[in-house]
Structure 1
Amino acid sequence: MPDAQSIPTHWYNIAGDLDVAPPPHLHPGTREPVTADDLAPLFASGLIEQELSTETDIAIPEPVREAYASYRTTPLIRARSFEKALGTPARIYVKYEGVSPVGSHKVNSAVAQAYYNSLDGVTRLTTETGAGQWGSALAFACARFGIDLEVWQVRASYDAKPYRRFLIETYGGTVHASPSELTEAGRAVLARDPGTPGSLGIAVSEAVEVAVKDPLARYTLGSVLNHVVLHQTVIGLEAVEQLRAAGEDNADIVFGCAGGGSNLAGLAFPFIREVLHDRAKTRVVAAEPTACPSITQGRYRYDHGDIAGLTPLLKMHTLGQDFIPDPIHAGGLRYHGMAPLLSHTVELGYVEGRAVRQTDAFAAAVEFARNEGIVPAPEASHAIAAAAEYARGLTEPEVIVIGLSGHGQLDLPAYDAYLSGKLV
């Protein structure tokens, strides 16, 4: 079992360190900054406090740290064989979140969100999921804290990735393909396009609609919002210390995949803290799919997080709330917008975006697997591809950190599609 003493005692909130304050979320009706009362029908009180907080360090409750201690600290692995295969002078380190109970980083926030909802006496949670990593993580966390869970999974992933649905159901959750006939939002989408592959924006609308109608239910989100990003900073907090323990002063560049933004922000924000305090000059690259390029092609503006317009307006890089991407295999990256805090750091120049083609991501993932033995999740493969391209071009040594947000053992049909030439 991991050493509980190595688990961070506080999450890191970058909002408290930035000279330019992040734009506030806006109420969808009044267009005024949201208040705690505005968010109360959706989220647990402790999570609302975190969402609006500007404190830099927020204590991690002991029950959450105890849950973390069952699988953290996650390893920072020197990818020497991958370095050799790339022919690079770089020293490449991989922060591997695939050792969690559900095989991805998502459990870091799921445990915290289930805990805070349990404190409020919530008996039922609703949520959306793309590839199923978030749904699996929340089902695991709800089982731990005795809460029922209902999940709306994007139709494209529901059909293509049944194993994560099986995992959600094994932990006790209920799963619906989205859009569904169970909600007004779902029925409206199906009326317009009966064959739609769905999107995370649609699934969010369905989960929110059900939650607000039940006084004992609350909604949970697996990415995008400030409190989700906050919980994921355990990744970067550990990585900064692990890198020092490996004899490296700092990372020269950090790569992470970006869909909603929680994985990349969780890894990168503690590294950016070192930059903000003049202790490092680390660059951060957000690797996103060309099929859903919110940073590289989206607009930075206020937009809803869902297709029905039920969520607060968020200032973020967005492709538009009604954008429905192609059903790429990296289902966790199929979201129209980027986390407001991450979008803000892009605007301030601390993070840059890079779009990666699906076939390039799988090619890099296969090369990584054959050299390091770990099969990456398709989402994380985008970060590996961007890092590999960068590393191949180096002529001088640099320290590269890659966020490997989860394993791809439940995504092997996607690898089969790539290896058989069926992906484009």
Structure 2
Amino acid sequence: MEHKILLKESDIPRQWYNLAADLPTPPLPPLGPDGKPISPDMLAPVFPMNIIEQEVSTERWIDIPEPVLDLLYRWRPAPLRRAVYLEKYLKTPARIYYKDESTSPPGSHKPNTAVAQAYYNKEFGIKRLTTETGAGQWGSALAFACALLGLECKVFMVRISFDQKPFRKFMMETWGANCVASPSTETNAGRNVLQETPDTPGSLGIAISEAVEQAVTDPSGQTRYSLGSVLNHVMLHQTIIGLEAKKQLAAAGEKLPDIIIGCAGGGSNFAGLAFPFTADKINGANIEIIPVEPAACPTMTRAPFAYDHGDTACMTPLLAMHTLGHAFVPPPIHAGGLRYHGMAPLVCQAIVEGLFTPRSYHQTKCYESALTWARTEGTICAPETSHAIAAAIDEAEKAREEGKEKVILFNYSGHGLMDLTGYNAFMTGKLSDYEMPEEEIRKFTKDLERMPKAEMRKSGRW
């Protein structure tokens, strides 16, 4: 039995996979303020045109430039590991595999797109990138990428995570980035929020507004915004995860997995693993694909599918997605990377289509699963990753009860060595669960009634 399945550097995928080419019903287009579909040039103040071309592409395969591959070689191909010790503990007939994305220098999957975005921006002549970050994984990844490519980096970090996770800020500063708590006094968006709610814990929507504002108001025109999740080009760059996993499962003697799992906040690490296998499901494979989110931020499981802005200040185009409303301010759970009000449009369209079956978990269950993992497999996972582990354990126990051999694959999206305050809070009984009341969802989604209607289109095949 192989505990870890490794690829040679020569086996690294040389193309990204684009799910937009194969979805039976294409996603609805992004809309501008006038309710009409936006044109690519309307995104030019925010993103460089070479990234915009990927954002709107419906080509199935997009080549990975050699300079980007050279950057990825620092940690890729990443290992596929089998959780043999967890399997023994659970006494399950299931075989549990996980793609270990914690081996990147910042410790998560986020650099897969950070180095690509930094490369394309530099090629376009951009000197400075702005971004937001929740728990800090994305901010750390972009700071790392900008350091490699000689770009300036400014990160607006959601205040509650800024306070909870100071070592993430230190990581960003080590790589040369400037990290500030959001909302800040540096932007109109931040000042407006602080004037209304000075004690706000912040949100990803607010931080996005601040980062976009700084990018589009730079008079030199040499600043652009960089996003770590949600948009199509980010999902595209992350598919290297699933493409590697396919080769590794084959090397382990496995056919396609029965179950694929990933935690989902904006959708990037889940999509990175799941999208290449979604193509197999579209073509007839029997695979259950499960994105997992916090019960405290139930975007996929309880929120409406609607057109909404991706940020609080309504500076972004309208996206058709499952959304809790752009004004949503989440409770301060420790899985900071899963507190976004919306979800990637490609992920949402696949949910509408019936290709994915999302579920939600409370944070105490996730931390229980994280401790089980640490005391069997040995590593300490990120709070976000614990949601995927909780689902994997549930599916493994179900396989035991049914007496069925199953292949379970999940994305180990990052380590938790910067998140130990959350573990301490759980182990000392200071964490509680939060179930978002229906009236709260109605309050935050009230504004969606004045947005263009997002039709739920699907083929009916699933």
- 1:62 aligned onto 2:66: yes
Q: Check conservation: 2:17, 2:236, Cα contact below 8 A.
A: yes
Q: Would you say the 8 A contact 2:373–2:380 is kept in 1?
A: yes
Counterpart of 1:111? 115
Map 1:271-290; keep pairs closer than 5 Å: 271-278=277-284, 280-290=285-295
Q: So what's the TM-score if we normalise by structure 1?
A: 0.98
Residues 343-422 of structure 1 correspond to what in structure 2 (within 5 A)? Answer: 343-394=348-399, 395-422=403-430
Q: Does 1:217 align with 2:214?
A: no
CA contact (8 A) 1:3 1:69 kept: no
Task: Provide the residue aligned with 2:239 in structure 1.
Answer: 233
1:47 equivalent among 32, 48, 51 = 51
| Aligned position for 2:275 | 269
The corresponding residue for 1:256 is: 262
Alpha-carbon offset, residue 36 of structure 1:
1.4
Q: Percent sequence identity over matched residues?
A: 56
The gaps in structure 1 that reach 5 residues or longer are: none
Letter aligned with residue 167 of structure 2: Y
| Correspondence for 2:447 | none
The answer to whether the aligner puts 1:4 opposite 2:9 as a matched pair is yes
Structure 2 residue runs of 5 or longer lacking an equivalent are 1-5, 433-462
Q: 1:147 aligns to what?
A: 151
| 3-state DSSP of counterpart to 1:393 | helix
Aligned to 2:321: 316
Aligned-residue offset at 1:399: 0.3
Deviations 1:175-194 (A, max 9, x none): 11000111111111111111
Q: Distance in 2 between the 1:6 and 1:331 partners?
A: 34
Q: Tell which deviates more after alignment, 80-89 or 377-386.
A: 80-89
Cα shift readout 1:59-106 (whole Å, capped 9, x = no counterpart): 001111111111011111110110111221110001110000100000
Matches within 5 A, 1:7-22: 7-22=12-27
SS of 1:196's equivalent? coil
Whole-angstrom CA distance in 2 between matches of 1:386 and 1:357: 11
Q: How does 1:189-208 map to 2 (within 5 A)?
A: 189-208=193-212
TM norm structure 2: 0.90
Q: Could you tell me which of 284, 307, 314 is aligned with 2:312?
A: 307
Cα offset, 1:3, TM superposition:
3.2
1:19: Cα distance to partner? 2.1
What does residue 156 of structure 1 align with? 160
Match of 1:82 in 2: 86
Question: What amino acid does structure 1 have at the position aligned with 2:79?
Answer: P
Q: Report Cα offsets for 1:335-385 as digits up to 9, x if no partner.
A: 000000000000111111110100000100110111111111100100100
Confirm or deny that 1:134 pairs with 2:138.
Answer: yes
Which amino acid in 1 is paired with 2:242?
G
State whether residues 288 and 355 of structure 1, in contact with CA within 8 Å, keep that contact through their aligned partners in structure 2.
yes
Aligned residues: 422
* Partner Cα separation in structure 2 for residue 164 and residue 182 of structure 1: 21
Pairwise CA RMSD of aligned residues? 1.0
Residue 2 of structure 1 deviates from its aligned partner by 7.1
Task: Please say if residues 230 and 266 of structure 2, whose CA atoms lie closer than 8 Å, have aligned partners that are also in contact.
Answer: yes
Alignment of 1:285-296 (within 5 A): 285-296=290-301
